[in-house]
Amino acid sequence: MSTLSVKHSGGIGDIIYSLPTVLSLIRDHGISRVIYYLQLGQHVQYSGPHPLGTLLLSADYIDKVRPLLLSQPYVQQVEIYSDQKVDVDFDQFRRIPLNYSMYSIARWYFLFVIGASWDLSLPWLNVVPDYRFRDFALVARNRRLQSPFITYNFLDKYADRIVFVGVEQEFEDFRMQCPQCSRFYQAPDFLELARVIAGCRFFAGNQGMIYTLAEALKVPRLLETNIQAANNIPQGGACYDALFQQGFEYWFARLMSARTTP
């Protein structure tokens, strides 16, 4: 087999977490070309407000993730799924008899794609870094999967060294806790978002698509973990997680004071 076709209905973080399995299949089966099909119209009940409401994937989000997927040298096509025959249906992970609030999202795919394995301490996403925020911590926080024991209000003392990334509503929520943090960047697509994350000082935030990018890139990162579905597991490089305020502030200060590479 030289061409591999795969299909996924989202969300974006789950798509990114499927890429180690794609890389495993490429490595073990002599694949030179990947077609990634994305399915529209599937619904889910999120744990909190989401930009897509109850949709897993929209046409706009496909447009935003397509440049990121195509930037990976092994992905030649990203198409909307319309009943094409595929080699791997990544939506099968939703039928595994698991408690989805546990384990590791990336490893869910290994459970049904027999023989798939990947060292998740290594980067599985590669982009050309954008260093415009090389001296800044990038921070993101959505309304889902927050720790009830963590507030971001201490970040005001670092306001001149923080840029919030995400969507405007999340930034407005963030400013309620951190009124001095006024810098905001909303990327036009997820490739550009990945590039600024790859070039930043470090990333800090809660579980969601933006943290998944930081995890896939293996930039220095701090995860605000949660008590509902702690299924993002930091691995590899300078990675830390915290459930409580003291730990989150400790690791944030450590990352802010760490020397950066030139």
Taking CA atoms, 191 is separated from 9, 29, 65, 71, 136, in Å, by 19, 27, 7, 8, 19
Is the pLDDT at 70 greater than 80, yes or no? yes
Rounded CA-CA distance 254/244 in Å is 16
What pLDDT is attached to residue 45? Answer: 59
Q: Which is higher by pLDDT, 262 or 198?
A: 198
Name the CATH superfamily for 131-257: Glycogen Phosphorylase B; (3.40.50.2000)
Q: Which residue, among 229, 231, 222, has the nearest Cα to 251 in the 3D structure? A: 222
What pLDDT is attached to residue 170? Answer: 96
Rounded CA-CA distance 220/236 in Å is 9
Is the pLDDT at 51 greater than 80, yes or no? no
Quote the mean pLDDT of the chain.
93
Contact partners, residue 225, CB within 8 Å, separation at least 6: 147, 206, 207, 232, 241, 242, 243
**What is the mean predicted confidence (pLDDT) over 185-189?**
97
The SS3 assignment for 138 reads: strand
Rounded CA-CA distance 138/162 in Å is 6
- pTM (predicted TM-score): 0.94
Considering the chain, what percentage of its residues have pLDDT values greater than 70? 93
**What is the mean predicted confidence (pLDDT) over 41-61?**
69
Q: Which residue, among 36, 31, 33, has the nearest Cα to 9 in the 3D structure? A: 36
CATH number for the region 3-110 comes to: 3.40.50
Is the pLDDT at 261 greater than 60, yes or no? no
Q: For CATH 3.40.50.2000, list the domain ranges present in the chain.
A: 131-257
pLDDT in tens, 104-159: 999 999 999 999 999 999 999 999 999 999 999 999 999 989 999 999 999 999 99
Q: Which residue, among 67, 201, 58, has the nearest Cα to 139 in the 3D structure? A: 201
